[in-house]
Homo-oligomer: A and B are copies of this chain.
Amino acid sequence: MSVVGIIAEYNPFHSGHEFLLNQARLVAGKDPIIVLMSGNYVQRGEMAIMDKHTRAEAALRAGADLVLELPFSTAVQAADLFALGGMDQLYRLGAETLVFGVENANLNFAYLGSKIAEIPQNHMDFNDYSQTYSTQYNQMVAREVGFEVNAPNAILGLAYSVANYNLGSPMKLHPINRIGAGHDDILKTTAAVQSASAIRNLLLHNEDKTQLSQWLPKEEAKKLMAQEIYPNWDLLYPFFKYRVESASLSELRDIYQMSEGLEYKFKQEIHLANDFTEFLRHVKSKRYTYSRLRRLSLFTLLNVTQDDMVDSFNDEKLILLGFSKRGRQYLKKNRKNFKTKIISKVDRREAKSGSLGLQVRVDRLFEQLMKDDQNFGQRPIEV
């Protein structure tokens, strides 16, 4: 038995995630499963398709014992920082084993993680401006470890492994073979497991939503079907365009990760682009991945500056979204020993700076679109 940690987005939570939780239960036994879940914004630089509280509840009903919110400053990051921030927090919460889904669980992640972590830093100073950082990183990893890792979950798994090694290997790594659809697979209506992105596509393209209940927990499917709005960049684009057009160059320059003169490119391309896809296509260069540019656009939309991110990093607190009975007991027993701060009730004074301040502020746009308050007045769900 072992306290299990999981890092997840659940955007939305579906039967594949349920399968992973069931596998995690075999590892945890009577110990709790702790989930660190992204809030209302996800790693690829977009708004989540449904609110964090509903997604957390679905995970709790499927066997998670604690669901805590991964702070924005870690959740909306490239794989390395996402993994490092998440692993660090899980370890502070007492997790002993990281359970994660991959395409091929036979890879020796601990070994690969240590190999990659030991690659000298100067091997990572890529100067080839004709390729994205992540392409060059993957090629370098391929050279160093002898084979190429390019399945999306394996890449993330490697990032967890590297982070774990860099943190002094506090956790055991327990990869589990994902079942059903691959990470970005399109919808196959006959399958019992769909990818989250296939489900989001179905919602965005307004197809028959009654199918959802095949792949999602009933309660979550019901809430999702009842939503008037499914957040996506097309919906956000008018706000984004307005912001880029009205911001000064120096304001754009202050945005987190606005580097190498991208503010000029943003200003230049925004006026003529009719939608977000067109904008991204025009801003895209060999140097940056779409994910990087989508995150940068999200930071711009949400007015997240370099200073905001540093303030948040330096003061990351975890909002408790919900718990089971086992989770509550675990919290009660261990809370005072955690090397991280857990927030059960977001307080207005505390939420003026740091990670809470940032989270409250970025959630405002989510609230504007979706109506329900996301932080103030919310309490953890008890399942």
Contact = CB atoms under 8 A, between A and B. Distances in A.
A365 B302 contact: no
Interface string A38-52: 000000000000000
Interface stretch (A177-185, A235-243, A316-324): A235-243
Contacts of A271: 364, 367
B246 A364 contact: yes
A130 interface: no
Contact of A365 (B246, B303, B305): B246
A245 interface: yes
Interface string A89-118: 000000000000000000000000000000
A241 B371 CA distance: 13
A121 interface: no
A368 B242 contact: yes
Contacts of A247: 303
A341 interface: no
A48 B120 CA distance: 61
A361 interface: yes
A241 B368 contact: yes
A248 B368 contact: no
Contact of A302 (B246, B251, B305): B246
Nearest to A249: B352
Given A245-B361, A246-B361, A361-B246, A238 B303 contact: no
B245 A364 contact: yes
A368 B271 CA distance: 8
Interface string A207-240: 0000000000000000000000000000000110
Nearest to A245: B364
Contacts of A243: 242-243, 246
Contact of A238 (B248, B302, B362, B368): B368
A374 to B, nearest CB: 12
Contacts of A248: 303, 305
Nearest to A362: B246
Contacts of A242: 239, 242-243, 364-365, 368
Contacts of A302: 246
Contact of A303 (B239, B246, B305): B246
Interface in A253-311: 271, 301-303, 305
Nearest to A303: B246
A246 B240 CA distance: 12
A158 to B, nearest CB: 35
Nearest to A246: B303
Nearest to A247: B303
12 contacts: A238-B239, A239-B239, A242-B242, A242-B364, A243-B246, A245-B361, A246-B302, A246-B361, A246-B362, A246-B365, A248-B305, A251-B303
In the A-B complex, list the 3 residue pairs whose CB atoms are closest, starting with the nearest: A245-B364, A246-B303, A239-B242
